[in-house]
Amino acid sequence: MKHIYSLLIVTLLIVSCSGEKKKNSVESVLESNNLETIRQKRADLVSEQETIQGKIKMLDAAISKIDTVKHVPLITTLVAKEEVFKHVLEIQGNVTTKNLLVITPEYNGILTNVYVKEGQKVTKGQTLAKIDDGGLSQQLSQLQIQADLAKTTYERQKRLWEQNIGSEIQYLQAKSTYESQNEAVNQLKQQIAKTTVKAPFTGTIDDVITEQGSVVAAGQTQLMRIVNLNDMYIETDVPERYVTDVTKGKHVNVEFPVLGKTLDTEIRQAGDFINPANRTFKVEVAIPNADKTIKPNLTAKLKINDYTNKNAILIPQSIISENAEGEQYVYVVNDKNAKEEGVAKRVIIKTGKTQGDVIEVLDGIENGIEIIQEGARSVKDGQTVKVINY
């Protein structure tokens, strides 16, 4: 009987407490629709929350002191160091030469003789072909006879005049006749000279275009092509924004993909005229051609050194981030201890030119600074990190 009474008392206490909790629950307070009761319940909950947060902080502090294994981000770093940075402009060009010419005749007529063949080396002034002069040689012979007679008459009249024999008008007429005949002979000789085709420079006959016996027209018919491979150069068009950087004497690396050949040279001439049609200027790059393997119109790839910084700091472009204001930044490691643990710090930087996967840092990073590489996208400013460089 005594046990039954005890059980009843405990049961009544439990029911009473649960009833009290139900009465003070958020649901029952909301059901009461009493403003003061609801406000009081909210204030009680805020007070409980502050008490719990304070206890959590105390627990975290105790854990950080007792726990010897900290869970910090693992990162790799690179050390900023000054080095020579040579930026290059990559562009394509074509091989050409000023000593490449298609020869055309200066006289109309029949091409009576061709004295050279393809591949033959010729010297400047050498006779290459002959055009029929159409009877000019006979006319020259007649004019020459008349000129000789005029000369003799003039010389005799001159001697008489010097002896005060004869009139002055006779002497002047003889002199005039002789000079006019002599001028006519010279003019005809110049015409006949045009019937002889000569090499304008030393080189090689690359192609004989017109065969012997063909009728040719002055300035129109292509007779043959002559080329000299000694004075070769590459011509290319460079955008106008490089007009102050791409100048005479700048180093150029030239690659000929077809030949599998590369060589180092320099710019020998940079144009002063900007083409309004495509906003470019001409550049000539000299190329040595001792073995004669480089031919006109060959395609070449040029790498022009347009900018050099002897004390540049270069970093990978992949580690750079950008904030909402458009500023670029990276993370560096400060206060690193013996356990290779440090603090990540965000640093705003100013960048310059790029080359491949790297970029030049102009401001924000000094020589010797340790920059976060792997893990740069996941760390936060002020966060403790551990360096695991291998």
Return the pLDDT at 58: 84
Q: What proportion of the chain, given as a percentage, has pLDDT over 70?
A: 92
Rounded Cα gap, residues 303 and 136, in angstroms? 57
Return the pLDDT at 23: 52
Return the pLDDT at 64: 66
285-317 residue pLDDT tens: 999 888 888 988 999 999 999 888 999 999 999
Average model confidence (pLDDT) for the chain?
A: 86
Return the pLDDT at 155: 85
Return the pLDDT at 2: 43
Please tell me the number of Cα atoms within 13 Å of 16 on its side-chain side.
Answer: 6
Return the pLDDT at 53: 85
Per-residue DSSP letters for 29-42? HHHHT-HHHHHHHH
Rounded Cα gap, residues 78 and 315, in angstroms? 9
Return the pLDDT at 21: 47
Q: What proportion of the chain, given as a percentage, has pLDDT over 90?
A: 43
Rounded Cα gap, residues 319 and 358, in angstroms? 10
Per-residue DSSP letters for 118-156? TT-EE-TT-EEEEE--TTHHHHHHHHHHHHHHHHHHHHH
Q: Sorting pLDDT into bands at 50, 70 and 90, what band is 15?
A: very low
Return the pLDDT at 67: 60
Q: Among 204, 251, 207, 232, which Cα is nearest to 293's?
A: 232
233-275 residue pLDDT tens: 999 999 999 999 899 999 999 999 999 999 999 999 999 999 9
pTM across the whole model: 0.58
Q: Sorting pLDDT into bands at 50, 70 and 90, what band is 68?
A: low
Give the residue, 348 or 171, on which the prediction is more confident. Answer: 348
DSSP H or E stretch at residue 24: helix 2-24
Per-residue DSSP letters for 48-70? HHHHHHHHHHHHHHHHHHH--S-
> Does pLDDT of 283 surpass 70?
yes
